[in-house]
């Protein structure tokens, strides 16, 4: 059905000025897969190397010994690539435009200023004893200091681990302990949509947990001036420590394969995984995709509305744009505050040419009707981008017509925390658009579809999405757990990287991501493991057993549907539902807030005791007609009860 939908052909005028038209895309793509060494050796020249690499690619996807190295004898510094090398040519050009939550607040940092502030912070890090190879945890609002902190880490060779500000103290503690960070950077409070979030209080709570005594210092940005507790000897004010520092700081010489950052993400099982990204390959991938996928042109204002706590913020607010000498807009607020016109108003205020946002944000605005955009013109827009979850064709068309005034190509970009940068997306001057399809692979990316046995499927078909060979931005490992890395990504299908996503390929070779095929759910573009939410719930005294599944949600893409079996001595009640909701919010964070809780006297299980999630997913989605074979269930009557008592979500 979907292929019959409208195709939006590349406009000739756009193609004429684009970095890549169809011919160029095809020839570069071909070269990138025929001769990866030659292709990437040439592309690597876009970075400033201290020692140019001669060894380009050493990558092994063997199930027993995954070993991924790019540019392994090259040396560079990522912060120097993002700052110093632009000083002579564009020192006075805005590097970061910061738009506050309050529309009255904004601030611009030129490359020269960003360089100076970053160096001061890097010097402060040194004074606090942070050394090359140490990890630093950031738990910060969307303020320029977050980007400075990332760049300052890179400058001295420290490894950052950014934890999204919406995570709970426990989630933060878990990540601080896993990364063994000696320094945590935060702010007194963050501000979003007019509301304050007590970041420093959360850090204080996190650091009472066992195992967090590795933390020597907490560096605190004064964002709101709100009331906070102070721990003498541990807490230090950002302004007091940083402002007096020298405005230059030598950039440490780093090997291309030295770690740049760790970023935690959820999987099907266990605790969140700290994906390890390294320096040279990651930066090259981020910069190159930022240029080609968004067709970024010098001097344009580019806005990625993600949070720096996610990989999208890392690659497309900070590293990609700054490596390209772009002007990147950083937004502290939300699209609905103070009104639903805010997104468009920010675009007009700062002359944004490229907007990169999420399907959830688009659907939330769309629900308010077309006139939600009446307060802005958005004439400056040239390219639109979407990321994080499948975009339904209706939302795509609305994004195109209402936000983009029917003149801007939309790049639907598929990628993951693990991939470091964009993997499948249309280059806007090269590929005709089909709403809902991420279209074609980026240079060097070899996607394939496999059946459950790992056989590669040809032609127009549907299967599990794998990538057959390495690309420079690929995560190298899971922090301190390479076995888990191999197990998670390379053991399902031999010799291939398994994405965890299902996908369809049409007769034009376009890829259509259909969503996760594992026990990961994607709520408003936030990735969560159902197992994490389940283990939080069973830690509550009333819960004997819990099963969590995703279900289709009009705005969020997927909602969180929870089946709970209570312990014998507990009775279902609305009060208990509220309590369990609060429990999960407190344990993991508000992003894991359950949408639906259904009481389940028992859960459908196979005779060997395995919960049949397929059935639970269908009931949650109200697809109870085609439940499939339930004869393998230990007690098929369980299903009847769940269907009869399904919670109607309206
Ligand atoms: O299921 C895919 C979905 O988001 C997952 C990756 O999540 P995360 O690591 O948090 O990174 C999100 C931002 C890159 C993928 O496995 N996903 C991401 N982009 C798309 C998408 N699904 C469909 N279309 C996309 N464009």
- Give tens-digit pLDDT for 323-333: 999 999 999 99
Name 414's Cβ contacts closer than 8 Å, sequence gap at least 6: 422, 423, 424, 425, 438, 501, 511, 513
| Cross-strand partners of 147 | none
* Least reliable range by pLDDT among 105-109, 574-578, 604-608: 604-608
Q: Separation of 420 CA from ligand 1 center, angstroms?
A: 11
- Please give the pLDDT value at position 648: 75
How far is the centre of ligand 1, averaged over its atoms, from the C-alpha of 147 (Å)? Answer: 23
Which residue has the least CA distance to atom 13 on ligand 1? 388
**441 is an annotated ligand-binding site residue:** no
To the question of whether residue 112 is assigned a binding role by annotation, the answer is no
At 649, is the pLDDT very low, low, confident or very high (cuts 50, 70, 90)?
Answer: low
What is the average per-residue pLDDT within 637-643?
90
Which candidate, 39, 176, 103, places its Cα nearest to that of 469?
Answer: 39
pLDDT digits (tens, 9 = 90+) for 22-70: 999 999 999 999 999 999 999 999 999 999 999 999 999 988 889 999 9
User: CA separation (Å) from 194 to 190, 191, 509?
Assistant: 10, 6, 45
pLDDT at 646: 86
Better pLDDT: 381 or 637: 381
| 154-168, 209-223, 465-479, 601-615: range with lowest mean pLDDT | 601-615
Share of the chain above pLDDT 90, in %: 92
pLDDT at 20 over 70: yes
Q: Could you tell me the pTM of the whole model?
A: 0.96
- Nearest ligand 1 atom to the CA of 418 is 9
Place 621 in a pLDDT band, splitting at 50, 70 and 90: very high
Q: What pLDDT is attached to residue 2?
A: 47
What number does the ligand 1 atom closest to the CA of 415 have?
14
Q: How far is the CA of 143 from the centre of ligand 1 (A)?
A: 24
Q: How far is the CA of 567 from the centre of ligand 1 (A)?
A: 36
pLDDT over 50 (residue 448): yes
For residue 527, what pLDDT is reported?
93
Q: How many CA atoms lie within 13 A of 556 on its CB side?
A: 19
Phi, psi of 157 (to 5 degrees): 85, 15
Site to substitute for ligand 1 among 393, 415, 425, 525, most atoms within 8 A of C-beta: 415
pLDDT at 180 over 90: yes
Pairing of strands 57-61, 511-516: unpaired
Mean pLDDT of 110-123: 98
Range in 3-12, 37-46, 290-299, 551-560 with the lowest mean pLDDT: 3-12
% of the chain exceeding 70 in pLDDT = 99
Model confidence band, residue 1 (pLDDT cutoffs 50, 70, 90): very low
> Residue 312 annotated as binding?
yes
Query: Considering Cα of 45, then 47, then 52, then 55, what sign does the dihedral take?
Result: negative
| Averaged pLDDT, 536-560 | 96
Determine whether the annotation assigns residue 527 to a binding site: yes
Tell me the Cα Rg of the chain: 24
Give tens-digit pLDDT for 240-281. Answer: 999 999 999 999 999 999 999 999 999 887 789 999 999 999
Ligand 1, CB within 6 Å, residue ranges: 265, 311-312, 387-390, 412-417, 438, 499-501, 513, 515-516, 522, 527
Residue whose Cα lies nearest atom 24 of ligand 1: it is: 390
C-beta atoms surrounding 623 within 10 Å: 12
pLDDT at 4: 52
Q: Is the pLDDT of residue 606 over 80?
A: yes
578 annotated to a ligand binding site: no
Choose the residue to mutate in 166, 399, 519, 527 for probing ligand 1, maximizing ligand atoms within 8 Å of C-beta: 527
pLDDT at 14 > cutoff 60: yes
Task: For 354-370, write each residue's pLDDT tens digit.
Answer: 999 999 999 999 999 99
Number of residues in the chain = 650
Place of tokens 């011919």: 23
Q: For all residues of the chain together, what is the average pLDDT?
A: 96
Is residue 413 annotated as involved in ligand binding? yes
499 CA closest ligand 1 atom index: 16
Confidence class for position 394, pLDDT limits 50, 70, 90: very high
ipTM of this predicted structure: 0.99
pLDDT at 149 over 80: yes
């Amino acid at each position: 059905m979907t292929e019959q939908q409208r195709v939006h052909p590349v406009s000739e005028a756009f193609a004429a000025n684009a970095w890549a038209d169809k011919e160029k895309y095809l020839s570069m793509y071909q070269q990138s897969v025929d001769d990866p060494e030659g292709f990437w050796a040439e592309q690597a020249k876009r970075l400033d190397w201290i020692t140019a690499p001669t060894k380009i690619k050493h990558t092994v996807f063997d199930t027993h010994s995954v070993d991924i190295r790019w540019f392994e004898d090259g040396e560079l510094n990522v912060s120097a690539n993002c700052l110093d090398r632009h000083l002579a040519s564009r020192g006075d050009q805005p590097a970061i435009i910061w738009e506050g939550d309050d529309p009255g607040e904004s601030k611009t940092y030129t490359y020269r200023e960003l360089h100076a502030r970053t160096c001061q912070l890097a010097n402060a890090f040194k004074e606090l004893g942070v050394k090359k190879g140490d990890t630093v945890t950031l738990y910060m609002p969307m303020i320029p200091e977050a980007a400075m902190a990332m760049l300052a880490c890179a400058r001295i060779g420290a490894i950052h681990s950014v934890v999204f500000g919406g995570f709970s103290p426990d989630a933060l503690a878990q990540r601080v302990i896993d990364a063994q960070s000696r320094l945590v950077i935060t702010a007194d409070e963050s501000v979003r949509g007019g509301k304050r979030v007590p970041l420093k209080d959360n850090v204080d709570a996190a650091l009472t947990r066992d195992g967090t005594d590795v933390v020597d210092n907490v560096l605190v940005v004064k964002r709101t001036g709100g009331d906070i507790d102070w721990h003498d000897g541990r807490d230090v004010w950002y302004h007091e420590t940083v402002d007096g520092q020298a405005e230059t700081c030598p950039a440490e010489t780093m090997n291309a394969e030295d770690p740049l950052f760790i970023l935690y993400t959820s999987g099907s099982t266990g605790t969140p995984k700290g994906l390890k990204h390294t320096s040279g390959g990651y930066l090259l991938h981020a910069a190159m995709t930022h240029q080609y996928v968004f067709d970024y042109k010098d001097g344009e204002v580019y806005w990625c509305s993600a949070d720096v706590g996610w990989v999208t913020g890392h690659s497309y607010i900070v590293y990609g744009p700054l490596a390209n000498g772009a002007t990147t807009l950083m937004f502290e607020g939300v699209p609905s505050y103070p009104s639903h016109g805010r997104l468009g108003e920010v675009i007009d205020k700062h002359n944004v040419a490229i907007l990169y946002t999420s399907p959830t944000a688009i659907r939330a605005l769309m629900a308010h009707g077309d006139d939600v955009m009446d307060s802005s013109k958005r004439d400056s827009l040239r390219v639109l981008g979407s990321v994080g979850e499948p975009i339904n064709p209706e939302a795509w068309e609305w994004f195109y017509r209402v936000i983009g005034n029917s003149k801007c190509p939309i790049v639907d970009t598929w990628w993951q925390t693990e991939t470091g940068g964009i993997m499948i997306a249309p280059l806007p001057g090269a590929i005709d658009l089909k709403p809902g399809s991420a279209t074609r692979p980026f240079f060097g990316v070899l996607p394939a579809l496999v059946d459950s046995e790992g056989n590669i499927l040809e032609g127009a078909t549907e299967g599990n999405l794998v990538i057959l060979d390495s690309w420079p931005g690929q995560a190298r490992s899971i922090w301190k757990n390479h076995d888990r890395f191999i197990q998670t990504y390379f053991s399902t299908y031999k010799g291939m990287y398994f994405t965890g996503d299902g996908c369809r390929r049409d007769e034009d070779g376009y890829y259509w991501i259909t969503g996760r095929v594992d026990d990961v759910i994607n709520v408003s573009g936030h990735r969560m493991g159902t197992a994490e939410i389940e283990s939080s719930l069973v830690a509550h005294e009333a819960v004997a057993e819990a099963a969590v599944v995703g279900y289709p949600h009009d705005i969020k893409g997927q909602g969180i549907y929870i089946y709970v079996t209570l312990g014998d001595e507990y009775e279902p009640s609305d009060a208990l539902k509220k309590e369990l909701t609060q429990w999960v919010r407190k344990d993991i964070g508000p992003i894991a807030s359950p949408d639906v809780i259904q009481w389940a006297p028992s859960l459908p299980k196979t005779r060997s005791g395995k919960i049949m999630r397929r059935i639970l997913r269908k009931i949650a989605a109200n697809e109870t007609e085609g439940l499939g074979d339930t004869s393998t269930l230990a007690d098929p009557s369980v299903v009847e009860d769940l269907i009869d008592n399904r919670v109607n979500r309206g």
